[in-house]
Amino acid sequence: MSDRTLLFEPTHRDGLARLGRLHTAHGIVQTPTLLPVVNPNERTIPPSELYERFGVRMLITNAYILSQKEALRDAALRRGIHALLDFPGAVMTDSGAFQVSRYAAVDPDPIAVVAFQRDIGVDLGTVLDVISPGEVPYERATADVEETLRRVRAATDPTLRADLPLAGTVQGSVYPELRERCAAELATTDCALHPIGGVVPLLEAYRYGDVLDAVLAAQGGLHPGRPVHLFGAGHPMMLALACLLGCDLFDSAAYARFAAADRLVFTDGTRLLRDLAELPAGAPAFVGVDLQGLQAMSVAQRTPLLARYNLWATMQELSSVRQAISEGTLWELAAARCRAHPALEAAFRRLDRWKDLTGRSARPSHDQALFLTGGRDPQPPQLHLHRTRLDERYRAPPSVAAIVVLPWESEPLSVRLRTWWGRLQQVAPTSVLLRTPLGLVPMELTTIYPFGQHVAPPDWAAGPLAAGSGRAPAALAQRMVADMPRIDVGSFSDGALETTCQSLRNRLGLAPQPRGGPSTALATRWDATLHWLVLRATLDQQFGRPQGTDAVVGATAADAPLQYVAGSTGRLRNVLAATGADCGAISRNPPPGACHLLSLRAADGRVTLKLAAATMLKASVPAPGLRVVAQPRVREVILQGRNVMAGHVLAIDSQLRPGDECLVVDPDDGLLAVGRLEMAAHEVGAVTRGMAVRVRDGAGQHGGH
């Protein structure tokens, strides 16, 4: 392995966004991150201070500028770029393509540009690409893409670049199909990183929607195992959106350029110093300085202070973005940030056009509730995913005679809902739907994310996601009520339950309830039938294989000898395979020797499998369903419960998503382990570092069953 090998290790995902570690010859760089632009001629903040005070572990400077002054050029070649800049971290160089696009007289040799970057010892060089100036005709943009690709192929010849990792830039002007084609071609080259280029004019013109299209079109073709760099995008107001699109690195000279113009950056825009009522509180750059004193300084005195503030504010926003990715809440953060500017908000709404692309990496659930704000915002990818699964995978309870639609209860399967459900079943087999902010949802699915884990304004149910708006799971309701009586309940008022029961009897032509019949108190019993319905519906939603679900829980509540273990709230927590008199019972103290099949997580209601249930699923779901195939050489360690690393995967079910339960098997389809997938299916095979499956139980571990 070369000393200058550049390796990227994704560590956590939230849709297309990811946290990662970029391994360089000069240390590990945590991503997403900003590479401050350092002009060799004008160092507003010394590079050593960037490293020590701001925690910058990678910066970018311009190879063209370095090469144009003889003294700088000679010093860089003689001492190396790190000594020249006095920076101990990693250094990336830009090729000068921006200068070429702006100044027609500039025409450097692409081969010489790569050779110079190689010789000064940078950690990452950039091939001299061709930037299409503005919105050029399609034919011109096509020619520029072809020349860029030709240069990348020539530059990645090992005899030229030696051990220098190179960045191959995606071009294509404002034509998404050209961007995707360019990205797909670059994915076949020996590049270490891929910038999205040619977007600075779009950013300067507030054409954020075109930037979004350019990035996502490129994402459709790029190599999933390589980091993505968005050139020129370093303003804090758009960092959350750019990371949401899957960008890992950014560079910007805005911190210094805005400072020179007396401008300060914020997450909602940029302000002139003269317009401030007070200085931002807590900014380290302004310790001991008040607003009047700063305004009274000379330009030479205050510009470094403003630059330090701008860089700090940008780094603070990136810290917030990384935290949101780790929590799975980046969508909500990006939505909030994009409301700061009409052009950003318009760009954010374009995400609906790309829901297939953004959805392929969406985690089906998160540990925190989904916040629903901004009525005209596009729906988050995981919400679109669950609506699709609800329409495609939900099976109504067997022998249902009628449907009752109840108001939304924010507590999943509350005592009141269980009371209503039980009382209705005493009249006839009834399917209960809830009128949620996300549309009509079966009661047994209100424990699973996001149907039972979302927070919405009081009027959201009447908003754009309400039933009949075209964005709710209307197909479910239409399918269920096609030939079935339906009763809509407006509120849980006094007497409403008995009134509904009587209406149900009338609709079904049943005799009135005789005196001394089942009492309402009896209906509050948290019985095994409702546990079975919750479990069956949850397994269907997660795995989408009814034959696998029925193998675990049976086609009816009486089919499988299951022991249900409820938590303190009455909700289902564990399911065991039991025999004898306890079959179908509810207990908080499972009998000794019972076989633990699965658990339901409290945070999101999703199932985590034990080996016994995994064995049942594998036997009933044909390959490659639910499977991750591991290399034979790691078979024994996986059997003992070790995690499956990315480089150890041979194949994977393409329908699996990050966070899904999966079965780890060997090439002969022997079950090795059960666990949780940690990366998107399309990344497996492309990403060489990091964890692919977090194993819960290895089939060779004692007590695994």
Give the residue numbers marked as catalytic: 94
- Residue 6 has a CB neighbour count (10 Å cut-off) of 23
Q: Left if phi > 0, otherwise alpha if psi is -120 to 50, otherwise beta: which for 162?
A: left
Within 8 A by CB and 6+ apart from 240, the residues are 317, 320, 321, 324, 330, 333, 334, 337, 338
Strand residues in 32-122 grouped as ranges (E): 33-36, 58-62, 90-94
- Residue 112 has a CB neighbour count (10 Å cut-off) of 11
- Exposure of 672 in the CB half-sphere (CA atoms within 13 A): 29
- Residue 138 has a CB neighbour count (10 Å cut-off) of 13
The string of DSSP letters for 303-355 reads: HHHHHHHHHHHHHHHHHHHHHHHHHT-HHHHHHHHHTTSHHHHHHHHGGGGGH
Tell me if 87 sits within 8 A of 49, measured CB to CB: no
Q: What is the distance between the alpha carbons of residues 670 and 142, in angstroms, rounded to a whole number?
A: 49
Tell me if 441 sits within 8 A of 390, measured CB to CB: yes
Strand residues in 71-127 grouped as ranges (E): 90-94, 125-126
Find out whether the peptide bond into 236 is cis, omega within 30 degrees of 0. Answer: no
Q: What is the distance between the alpha carbons of residues 202 and 180, in angstroms, rounded to a whole number?
A: 18
Task: Write down how long the chain is.
Answer: 705
| DSSP run (H or E) holding 240 | helix 236-244
Q: Give the long-range contacts of residues 597-601, CB within 8 A, separation 24 or more.
A: 597/552, 597/562, 598/552, 598/574, 599/573, 599/574, 599/575, 600/447, 600/534, 600/535, 600/538, 600/571, 600/572, 600/573, 600/574, 600/575
| DSSP run (H or E) holding 182 | helix 176-187
Q: What is the distance between the alpha carbons of residues 339 and 336, in angstroms, rounded to a whole number?
A: 6
Residue 695, SS3 per DSSP: strand
Question: Which of 558, 11, 546 minimizes the C-alpha distance to 322?
Answer: 11
Spell 509-519 as b/e; 16+ CB within 10 A means b.
eeeeeeeeeee
Tell me if 694 sits within 8 A of 13, measured CB to CB: no
Burial of 139 (0-12, 13-18, 19+ CB in 10 A): exposed
Question: Which of 350, 351, 361 minimizes the C-alpha distance to 385?
Answer: 361
DSSP state of 124: B
- Residue 399 has a CB neighbour count (10 Å cut-off) of 8
Tell me if 285 sits within 8 A of 308, measured CB to CB: yes
Tell me if 14 sits within 8 A of 363, measured CB to CB: yes
